[in-house]
């Protein structure tokens, strides 16, 4: 019971301090320019769908030859 309480308290403290740690820039942190809406949709929507379709197509090729 004590171990669970210590774990819960430590987790809560880490969760509460993580936003404060995000405000401090690390050495060498040099973020680039932001992505446009089109680039974001292409990178996070279109690219995974195209990758899935290519992999699915490659997996279906051996079955269609029979």
CA distance 15 to 7: 12
pLDDT at position 19 is: 62
pLDDT at position 64 is: 82
pLDDT at position 37 is: 95
Buried b (16+ CB within 10 A) or exposed e, 31-48: eeeeeeeeeeeeeeeeee
Tens of pLDDT along the chain (66 residues)? 899 999 999 888 877 766 666 666 777 777 789 999 999 999 999 999 999 999 999 999 988 876
CA distance 32 to 53: 31
pLDDT at position 66 is: 64
pLDDT at position 36 is: 95
For residue 35, give every residue at least 6 positions away whose Cβ sits within 8 Å of its Cβ, in sequence order, or none.
43
Question: Does residue 53 sit in helix, strand or coil?
Answer: helix
């Amino acid at each position: 019971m004590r171990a669970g309480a210590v774990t819960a308290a430590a987790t809560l403290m880490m969760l509460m301090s993580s936003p404060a740690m995000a405000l401090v820039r690390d050495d060498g942190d040099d973020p680039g320019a932001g992505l446009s809406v089109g680039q974001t949709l292409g990178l996070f929507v279109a690219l995974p769908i195209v990758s899935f379709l290519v992999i699915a197509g490659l997996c279906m090729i051996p079955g269609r030859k029979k």
